[in-house]
């Protein structure tokens, strides 16, 4: 059996880093970790190919080679996924689809031959058994959640790692919190399920053996969902693993209560983590109450961010506007918070209601879900009718983005961060592309760019005051170029 695994294309978004990748000679930010794991679950005797449309073209020759096509992706990849499905149907190629997009909206893909939904560790073996017997069903669903101790290592041999800016690895699934707008618990449950430290270090060994020495993204829904296990098992194993390794810095997603645990912060820094994405959402307590973001309440959010950054972990932040309780003042409050916090990568989005969430159910009952969920919270669209009115929301959102991503405010935030940020324990080694990225940024941002004055001002200040963070300053300057390009395309 010839199995073709196809990963749909991401549109240009904040998270695609499209306009930053050319500075470092890469084609995509992250590899298709889900499909690489699915490949490891397929029978060993099958022939397998993986085509990531983000880094290479899907040809008719690929499709004609295959007996079955496996397609996986997220909501933001919907357009590309439909195009791929149509091409497969035109060639009478059997289609198997799974992942968050298809799991959340199976009724939207009647043309797919087999929907293998939820987590593949449970549903894919049943499909494969039925396929072997000649009677595969249309839909496969799971009644529970798998033990990740049985999850195989991804099939890294199916991709060329050098095409990507970062590698990915997954330690856990699930989140203990219950945010109304988030579909993580719908997909993966409240109880974090973990791989063993041995599984993780084995996966890291494979990535390291391929020659990889750059960043690795722990794609967990909430990396610190089980803090006790992290402190006693995984982080000590990571610290031990990297004793004889060079490079390979880590970043991940976590909740703001990370700031409450100095031991955990210290261990993460020693293990090689240098960045963490945190859902701040709103500086307004009423809005946090509305969306059940209880972990963010009753605390000084600015101080929590500062604690994390002083430990050596740069905070990337998620922010949302459009809650029912949001007043017109929320837009300026968000701007002020972002600027004061030094959160350089501030992903501000309009509130959306993903299918399967409690927010979706509530707003559906109120007849306020009016569009398809795009999966992109920074393209200036939403699938709901906001209480403040769509025109007021869009105008306020645009004002936020124009201000926080103007060169003056953006570079001011970078300096605020660098003043606070402790130099990380580990750094990525300088390779040719990273070396060239400085000269590319110096020319494209420092000579051609509208931000050239702010760019050189930051470079000089960093060289004098924070020389150990020069690479961070250059990287964030390049990110800023990407963010402004996205804003110009969708928002301004």
Tell me the per-residue pLDDT of 200-233, one tens digit each, with 9 for 90 and over. Answer: 999 999 999 999 999 999 999 999 999 999 999 9
- The pLDDT, as a whole number, for residue 486 is 93
Asked, for residue 33, whether it belongs to a domain, the answer is yes
**Which stretches within 214-343 are classed as H helix?**
227-229, 235-241, 262-271, 285-290, 301-310, 330-341
Q: Two tokens at 206? A: 């494979």
The predicted-structure confidence for 338-350, as pLDDT tens digits, reads as follows 999 999 999 999 9
Q: What is the CATH number of the domain that holds 227?
A: 3.80.30.20
Residues 337 and 444 in one domain: no
Residues 339 and 238 in one domain: yes
Asked, for residue 151, whether it belongs to a domain, the answer is no
- Contact (CB, 8 A) for 115 and 412: no
Domain boundary among 379, 395, 420: 420
- Rounded to 5 degrees, what are φ and ψ at 72? -135, 150
Residue 370 pLDDT class (50, 70, 90 cuts): very high
Residues 113 and 173 in one domain: no
- Contact (CB, 8 A) for 98 and 115: yes
Residue 491: pLDDT over 90? no
Residues 390 and 315 in one domain: yes
Residues 198 and 303 in one domain: yes
Q: By CB neighbour count within 10 A (0-12 exposed, 13-18 middle, 19+ buried), where does 113 fall?
A: middle
Residues 399 and 440 in one domain: no
Q: How many CA atoms lie within 13 A of 280 on its CB side?
A: 32
Asked, for residue 152, whether it belongs to a domain, the answer is no
- Contact (CB, 8 A) for 472 and 314: yes
Q: What is the CATH number of the domain that holds 54?
A: 3.40.50.280
- Contact (CB, 8 A) for 2 and 67: yes
Residue 113: pLDDT over 80? yes
Residues 399 and 445 in one domain: no
Residue 428: pLDDT over 80? no
Residues 414 and 462 in one domain: no
Residue 432: pLDDT over 80? no
- The pLDDT, as a whole number, for residue 203 is 98
Residue 380: pLDDT over 90? no
Residues 364 and 284 in one domain: yes
The predicted-structure confidence for 406-416, as pLDDT tens digits, reads as follows 999 999 999 99
Domain boundary among 420, 445, 468: 420
Residues 131 and 269 in one domain: no
- The pLDDT, as a whole number, for residue 449 is 94
The domain in which residue 44 lies consists of 2-140
Residues 175 and 260 in one domain: yes
Q: Two tokens at 125? A: 């073996």
Asked, for residue 231, whether it belongs to a domain, the answer is yes
- The pLDDT, as a whole number, for residue 427 is 74
The pTM (predicted TM-score) of the whole model is: 0.95
Query: Hey, which residues does 350 pair with through a beta bridge?
Result: 321
Asked, for residue 157, whether it belongs to a domain, the answer is no
Nearest to 32 by CA among 69, 59, 7, 3: 7
Catalogue the long-range contacts made by 170-173 (C-beta closer than 8 Å, 24 or more residues apart).
170/33, 170/195, 170/218, 170/219, 170/220, 171/195, 171/200, 171/218, 171/220, 171/223, 171/234, 172/148, 172/220, 172/221, 172/222, 172/223, 172/225, 172/226, 173/119, 173/145, 173/148, 173/220, 173/221
Residue 95 pLDDT class (50, 70, 90 cuts): very high
**What value does the mean pLDDT take over residues 310-329?**
97
Asked, for residue 50, whether it belongs to a domain, the answer is yes
CA distance 482 to 72: 26
- Contact (CB, 8 A) for 251 and 218: yes
Domain count, the chain: 3
DSSP-derived 3-state class of residue 309 = helix
Q: By CB neighbour count within 10 A (0-12 exposed, 13-18 middle, 19+ buried), where does 262 fall?
A: exposed
Asked, for residue 381, whether it belongs to a domain, the answer is yes
The residue with greater pLDDT, 95 or 245, is 95
Which residue carries 């699934």 as its tokens? Answer: 173
Residues 173 and 310 in one domain: yes
Asked, for residue 154, whether it belongs to a domain, the answer is no
What average pLDDT is seen over the chain?
Answer: 96
- The pLDDT, as a whole number, for residue 417 is 98
């Amino acid at each position: 059996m010839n199995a073709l695994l196809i990963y749909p294309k991401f549109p240009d978004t904040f998270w695609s880093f499209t306009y930053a990748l050319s500075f470092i000679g890469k084609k995509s930010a992250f590899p298709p970790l889900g499909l690489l794991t699915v490949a490891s679950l397929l029978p060993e005797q099958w022939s397998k190919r993986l085509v990531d449309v983000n880094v290479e073209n899907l040809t008719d020759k690929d499709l004609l080679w295959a007996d079955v096509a496996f397609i996986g992706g997220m909501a933001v990849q919907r357009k590309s996924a439909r195009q791929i499905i149509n091409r497969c149907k035109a060639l009478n190629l059997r289609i198997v689809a799974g992942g968050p997009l298809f799991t959340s909206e199976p009724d939207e893909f009647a043309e797919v031959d087999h929907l293998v939904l939820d987590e593949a560790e449970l549903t894919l073996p049943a499909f494969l058994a039925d396929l072997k017997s000649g009677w595969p069903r249309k839909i496969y669903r799971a009644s529970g959640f798998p033990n990740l101790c049985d999850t195989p290592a991804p099939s890294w041999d199916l991709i060329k790692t050098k095409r990507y800016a970062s590698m990915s690895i997954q330690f856990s699934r699930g989140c203990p919190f219950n945010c109304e707008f988030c579909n993580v618990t719908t997909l993966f449950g409240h109880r974090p399920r973990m791989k063993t430290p041995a599984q993780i270090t084995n996966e890291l060994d494979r990535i390291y053996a391929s020659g990889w020495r750059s960043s690795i993204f722990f794609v967990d829904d909430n990396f610190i969902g089980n803090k006790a296990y992290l402190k006693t098992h995984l982080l000590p194993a990571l610290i031990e693993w990297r004793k004889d390794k060079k490079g390979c810095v880590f970043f991940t997603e976590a909740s703001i209560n990370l700031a409450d645990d100095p031991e955990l912060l210290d261990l993460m820094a020693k293990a090689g983590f240098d960045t963490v994405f945190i859902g701040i959402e709103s500086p307004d307590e009423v809005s946090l109450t509305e969306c059940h973001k209880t972990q963010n309440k009753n605390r000084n959010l600015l101080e929590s961010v500062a604690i994390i950054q002083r430990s050596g972990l740069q905070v990337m932040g998620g922010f949302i506007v459009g809650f029912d309780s949001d007043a017109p003042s929320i837009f300026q409050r968000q701007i002020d918070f972002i600027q004061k916090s030094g959160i350089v990568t501030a992903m501000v989005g309009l509130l959306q209601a993903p299918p399967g969430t409690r927010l979706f159910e509530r707003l559906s009952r109120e007849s306020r879900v009016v569009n398809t969920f795009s999966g992109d919270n920074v393209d200036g669209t939403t699938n709901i009718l906001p209480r403040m009115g769509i025109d007021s929301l869009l105008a306020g959102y645009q004002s936020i983005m124009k201000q926080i991503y103007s060169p003056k405010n953006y570079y001011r935030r970078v300096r605020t961060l660098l003043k606070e940020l402790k130099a990380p324990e580990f750094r990525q080694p300088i390779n040719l592309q990273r070396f060239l990225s400085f000269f590319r940024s110096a020319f494209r941002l420092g000579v051609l760019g509208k931000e050239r004055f702010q760019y050189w001002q930051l470079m000089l200040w960093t060289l004098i005051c924070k020389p150990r963070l020069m690479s961070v300053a250059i990287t964030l300057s390049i990110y800023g170029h990407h963010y402004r390009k996205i804003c110009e395309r969708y928002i301004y």
